[in-house]
Structures are given as structure tokens and as C-alpha cells.
Amino acid sequence: MVHFMDDGLRNKYDRLLEILKGYGSVAVAFSSGVDSTFLLHAAKEALGDRAVALTASSCFVPEREVSEARQFCERIGVRHLVAEVDVLAIDGVADNPKDRCYLCKKALFQGFMDTAVSEGLAVVAEGSNVDDEGDYRPGMKAIAELGVKSPLRAAGLRKQEIRDLSKEFDLPTWDKPSFACLASRIPYGERLTNEKLRMVDEAEQFLLNKGYRQFRVRVHGSDAPLARIELLPEDIDKALAPSVREEINDKLHEIGFAYVSLDLKGYRTGSLNEVLK
């Protein structure tokens, strides 16, 4: 038994377990991120073998995330189903409209729902939390329309509380940086291609290997693509050191970017949504 210093946090976790037990069985949409890892852990505690993890592998997701999902499921003994999905073939997604996330999630979660039915699982659950209610998130509309459950929100859990609880349970993701779908690096209206997504993936993997933890590499343009790098404010000076700046520039040119820039405002989630406001 884990003893929490904060009774309010303990109560929220107990509430989450009650919600999950009430489902009877669950298919957890599992990305290996902070929220879905915590949710899968709780589902395993609440339902045992009646909790199954579902992961979509696609060009929107770095391979390291799918690998980490597999490893975690093996670690806690959860059955894990991985589906290869051609997301760019989903009607409208490659055009990258403002509701791209809605179109993509509607198709992905419909697939998860179909899998849950075939596996005899009562519900599909996903890991959005209370803090996800503020930003522009059209994917949440698809989740609501399909009847997908959001137990972390139902239990009133916020992001930092999920990180705190994850640390209590020694989950490997308690301090994992947030990494959204790779398509979120490309401005709405600019066509999504496997090549652009590859470039983003390779550039971000390079920065990760160099020790940066929280960042984004946004792509602008197609004929001569520009990389706009967002770093945490404390990392900007480090990146501007002449030798480091040259290394980053050379590597991103090698990956395929014609121009490399550093966003002086720094890292923030949903920066491509700023033009919608």
C-alpha cells in the first residue's frame, strides 16, 4: 500500500479505481505518454487481466514511443495489441485542416472500439486530464461522439497530480517530457507527407540525444522547408553557443531542412494554435 502525504490525491486515485472497476473491463488507448501510462497502471490495479492496452503505430508516432509502450506492458504484465495504421490515408488528414485531429482520432478510436468489441471488452478509455480542457483540441470532440471514456478527467485529475502519483508508483514516465503527435509540428493547411514527418522525427531525436528534454521542431514550407526550434528558456543560451549552434544547424541541414531557426519565445504547447485565436 502506498501512503500519500496528500489525502486529496489519495482520494482522487481511489475515485479513479472505482470508475475503472465500474467498467468491468477496459481497452486503454496507450501511447506510452505520462497520462496513458498512469491510466494503464491504474487499470491494471483495478481490473487485472480485464485491462488491455491498444497502441496505434503510425508515421505520426516516433518508433521509440511504440517501443517504450511494448516495454512497459511487458513490465506490468498487460496484454498489448499494436495496430499499424496508415494515418495519411484517412480521408482529409493529409490535407492538414484545422480539424485534422478530429478526423484522425475519429478513425483511430473507431478502430479501437471495433477491437474492443472483438476482444469482449466493455469500454475504450483514453488519458486526457482536466488540464486538457483549455487548449484547442478537436480530437476531444471525436472521443465524445464515440463514447470513449476519459476516467482521469472524470476523477478530476490534473497533469501535475498525475505526475506526482506516477512518481509515488515508480512509473518511468513521472518526469517524461510531453511529446504530442508529430503532425502537430506542421502548420494547418500545409500538406502532411511522410518526408516532412521523417524530418521532424529525426531532428527531434537528435535534440533528445543531445540532452534536451522538452522541445519542438516545427516545420514551415515545403520547397525549402524551415525548421523552427522551440527550446525551454534555460536551454536557449546553450543552443546559441557557437559550436552548439553550428552542430545543430549542420545536422538539420543534413536531415533536409533548407533553413534552421530558433524561436526566441521558447517552447510552449500548441504554438501552432496561436494563429487560430
> Exposure of 24 by Cβ count < 10 A (0-12 exposed, 13-18 middle, 19+ buried)?
exposed
pLDDT of 209 > 80? The answer is: yes
Please give the Cα distance from 270 to 192 (Å, whole number).
17
What is the Cα gyration radius of the chain? 19
Domain residue ranges in the chain: 7-168, 182-276
Q: What is the pLDDT of residues 109-158, one digit of tens each?
A: 999 999 999 999 999 999 999 998 766 678 889 999 999 999 999 999 99
What residue type is 171 in one-letter code? L
Rounded average pLDDT over 92-110: 96
Q: What's the pTM?
A: 0.90
DSSP code at position 177 = P
Q: What is the mean pLDDT of residues 34-44?
A: 98
| The predicted structure's pLDDT at residue 138 | 80
Say yes or no: do domains 7-168 and 182-276 share a fold: no
Under a CB-based contact definition with an 8 Å cutoff, are residues 40 and 72 in contact? Answer: yes
pLDDT in tens, 222-244: 889 999 999 999 999 999 999 99
* Residues 191-218, mean pLDDT to the nearest whole number: 96
Alpha-carbon distances of 205 from 32, 208, 210, 227, rounded to whole Å: 16, 5, 9, 14
Q: Which grid coordinates are listed for 270?
A: 500548441
Residue whose C-alpha is closest to residue 40's, from 49, 50, 53:
53
Whether the Cβ atoms of residue 248 and residue 239 lie closer than 8 Å to each other:
yes
Q: Where are the beta strands (DSSP E) in the chain?
A: 26-29, 51-57, 79-84, 123-125, 215-220, 226-231, 259-262
CB atoms within 10 A of CB 124: 26
Task: Please tell me the distance from the alpha carbon of residue 196 to that of residue 219, in angstroms, as a whole number.
Answer: 8
Rounded mean pLDDT, 189-207: 97
Fold topology of 182-276: GMP Synthetase; Chain A, domain 3 (3.30.300)
Give the model's pLDDT for residue 96: 97
CATH number of the domain located at residue range(s) 7-168 in this protein: 3.40.50.620
